[in-house]
Structure 1
Amino acid sequence: MVAGLATAAGFAVLLPMSSDAAAACAAPYAASQVYTGGMSASYNGHNWSAKWWTQGETPSTGGTGVWADQGACGGGGGTTTPPGGGGSCDHPAWVQGRQYTTGDIVKYTNGNYYVATHDNPGYDPTISTWFWSPYTCTGGGSTSTPKPGGFVVSEAQFNQMFPSRNPFYTYAGLTAALSAYPGFATTGSDTVKKQEAAAFLANVSHETGGLVHIVEQNTANYPHYCDSSQPYGCPAGQAAYYGRGPIQLSWNFNYKAAGDALGIDLLHNPNLVQNDPAVAWKTGLWYWNTQNGPGTMTPHNAMVNGRGFGETIRSINGSLECNGGNPAQVQSRVNSYQSFTSILGVPAGSNLTC
């Protein structure tokens, strides 16, 4: 359980369907992609909408019934160009804080284009992927689609680290969340990058019992995580802000802060953290990359600045575990970290405990 998170502060939703019979095709269906309720994909010349969470089930009117046929797209030819794709790339530059409506297309500072999949007040497209989706246009002979970099942990290594993981914690969900914090596991030498990834995953493993638990197991604690002194209160309910996800995000002020940073209303919709794998992973990365917690620096800074794995423990649970608070828990985290660095083929480094 993450203690004392700082009180300061999913998958890219695919394109919405047109009501026209020959609507443009959404992004093509991918078996490895996790789709949540309302997300769309094209398959065999039709657009399909997911009714709830699904992965690996080919769109059809059969199966579990998760897919709803939205009709033919691309004139029935099965094309997969987003609305406006293939036309002019002369779209306005994105402006932080400007109000955007669904369907607006902007050119981001990295030169890539994004289309708003929800109305939003100028959220950053590379962070708030719940509200923006990559957009491809070929006008003027150019194609601008972001190319996510490879994660230093392969899917095979991830599965080796978590042989008994809950299917909710998908590798695809993790890699989809990486765009929210592009400095994570990409800063420093190859060794440092892998050490940071191992450190994050080791702490996550400890918090969730090896990526088994999605929510906090002690339900008696649930009503305790509402700080009623906050001006926004606990709109989802007194007992709605219990630990969820890989870092076991808890307390109303942390849901508010994480949601504000990610462009997702987690204060009113905390269940997104236990229903959407990418959102869940993003909350873990939010804490790791932006919060000092009870420590003196973010876990990310601890790893890239050579402070060692022990300092990440301090940033997560502080005196509850460090300085003799619970040495057995510290050692459990260290054991996971040493195992994961071994899998990645790098040394664990110094300053392992706190």
Structure 2
Amino acid sequence: MGGDPVTHGGGAWRAKWWTQGEEPGTTGQWGVWESLGACDGGGGDGGDEEPPAGGFVVSEAQFNQFFPNRNPFYTYSGLVAALDSFPAFATTGSETVQRREAAAFLANVSHETGGLVHIVEQNTANYPHYCDTSQPYGCPAGHDQYYGRGPIQLSWNFNYKAAGDSLGIDLLHNPSLVQNDPAVAWRTALWYWNTQSGPGTMTGHAAMVNGVGFGESIRSINGAIECDGGNPAQVQSRVDKYRNFTGQLGVDPGGNLYC
């Protein structure tokens, strides 16, 4: 006989038979614990889905709840496919740290894209500005082809080249792949998050797994413009999203939320 529902890690679970101390979410599809979905009830939007065993800490149902108005381009399957390129992302440290990192990453990309609505930068007047002609490889796709694209709005010819070199994709000559292939788009965002410190002193990944705090992830993405009083409203927008996502994932946001 099944037991009474319990909550764990932001989800609701029911034991299908007597447990032997197994932790909910660790026993797989055929194990003792049956997922009842998110603690908020979930409704009919995939709320009874079990998070994939050993997979991303954010389930597809939760992803859909985070981004109710998202562009269909930004698929959950594209995100999951991109995770293979960065196996330390949202798998390092305790379950709380993993969920915080996933929430931090998704909060920042939500801010960058208006809730995963925009695939490309909306201000087309900026497009010609992202060609750094001092680079020896120039801008072979065209001076106006290195504008912001994808979840983290990858910009500049040198970032397209560096991301492409890292991922084994020629994005310098084919920057449009970032707006046409969901898995490529997600990979560029995870590349920046996991490997680039930008105007900050560490990557977003390092900020979260080392307990420095969400604020430093903002600094690594747009700190030169937003941090240290540059644009407190934009910082607050990111923090609000992060708090919302950590709340939905059932973990506290930690300290040092601002930059």
State the TM bucket, normalised to the shorter chain. Answer: 0.7 to 0.9
**Contact 1:195/1:341 (8 A) holds in 2:** yes
Identity of aligned residues (%): 81
Counterpart amino acid of residue 251 in structure 1: W
Q: Which of 104, 114, 120 is equivalent to 1:199?
A: 104
1:164 maps to which of 69, 84, 100: 69
Are 1:260 and 2:165 counterparts? yes
Q: Which amino acid aligns with 2:70?
A: R
What is the 5 A alignment of 1:1-354?
A: 149-354=54-259
For these two proteins, the number of residue pairs brought into alignment is 208
* Secondary structure, aligned partner of 2:111: helix
CA distance in structure 1 between the aligned counterparts of 2:142 and 2:72, rounded to whole angstroms: 28
**Letter paired with 1:316:** I
Letter in 2 for 1:258: A
Alpha-carbon distance in 1 for matches of 2:82, 2:99: 17
* Deviation by residue 1:291-325 (Cα, 9 ceiling, x = unmatched): 01000000000000000000000111113100000
Tell me the CA shift for residue 149 of structure 1.
3.6
Paired with 2:223 and 2:235, the residues of 1 have a C-alpha distance of 11
Superposed CA RMSD: 1.1
Mapped partners of 1:333, 1:232: distance in 2: 35
Q: Mind listing any 5+ residue stretches in structure 2 that lack a counterpart?
A: 1-51
Q: Once the two structures are superposed, what CA deviation does each residue of 1:9-68 show, in whole Å capped at 9, x if it has no partner? A: xxxxxxxxxxxxxxxxxxxxxxxxxxxxxxxxxxxxxxxxxxxxxxxxxxxxxxxxxxxx
- Determine which structure has the larger helix proportion and give its number: 2
The one-letter code matched in structure 1 to 2:181 is D
Find the aligned partners of 2:110 and 2:194 in 1 and give their Cα distance.
Answer: 17
1:331 alignment partner AA: Q
Measured in 1, the distance between the counterparts of 2:225 and 2:142 equals 27
SS at match of 1:153: coil
CA distance in 1, matches of 2:221, 2:145: 21
Larger Cα Rg: Structure 1 or Structure 2? 1
Q: Deviations over 1:213-270 (max 9, x none)?
A: 0000000000000001100000000100000000000000000000000000000000
Please, what TM-score do these two structures have when normalized by structure 1?
0.58
Question: Once the two structures are superposed, what CA deviation does each residue of 1:143-189 show, in whole Å capped at 9, x if it has no partner?
Answer: xxxx9941000000000000000000000000000000000000000
Aligned partners of 1:148 and 1:179 also within 8 Å: no
Measure the CA separation in 1 of the matches of 2:159 and 2:140.
14
4+ runs of 1 displaced by more than 6 Å?
none
SS in 1 for 2:108: helix
**Matched residue type, 2:254:** G
* Offset of residue 284 of structure 1: 0.2
- Judge conservation of contact 1:321–1:330 (CA < 8 Å) in 2: yes
